[in-house]
């Protein structure tokens, strides 16, 4: 099955991970890192600076694609589009 995220197509048989995450500043220069949405919603309220949200696709062991969004609402909408493709 071919899955389209934004303008990129992926063959689902090669996707090893597909997940959403928040992207936060680490506190070191402009460095950022991914953290789980659950951690952001439960543990991190007001403790970290969120710089965006992303959907991340891992292909095999070393190929990674990132789709970044300014808001969780935009990311959720993109995740909904992915879900509707997977239901077909």
pLDDT tens digit sequence for 50-73? 999 999 999 988 899 999 999 999
* pTM for this entry: 0.89
Residue 51 resides in a domain: yes
**Separation between Cα atoms, residue 36 and residue 32, nearest integer Å:** 13
Residue 8 resides in a domain: no
User: What pLDDT sits at residue 44?
Assistant: 81
Report the relative pairing of strands 2-5 and 63-69 from DSSP bridges.
unpaired
Q: Which domain holds residue 23?
A: 16-86
Residue 25 resides in a domain: yes
39, two tokens: 């951690």
User: What pLDDT sits at residue 46?
Assistant: 78
User: What pLDDT sits at residue 43?
Assistant: 87
pLDDT along the chain (88 residues), means of 10: 95 96 93 94 86 96 95 97 92
Bridge partner list, 47: none
Q: Which residues contact 68 (CB under 8 A, 6 or more apart)?
A: 23, 52, 53, 54
Residue 9 resides in a domain: no
User: Domain total for the chain?
Assistant: 1
């Amino acid at each position: 099955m071919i899955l389209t995220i934004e303008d990129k197509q992926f063959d689902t048989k090669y996707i090893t991970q597909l997940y959403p995450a928040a992207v936060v500043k680490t506190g070191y220069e402009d460095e950022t890192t991914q953290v789980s949405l659950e951690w952001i919603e439960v543990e991190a309220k007001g403790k970290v600076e969120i710089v965006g949200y992303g959907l991340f696709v891992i292909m095999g062991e070393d190929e990674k694609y990132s789709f970044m969004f300014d808001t969780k609402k935009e990311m959720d909408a993109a995740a909904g589009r992915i879900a509707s493709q997977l239901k077909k």
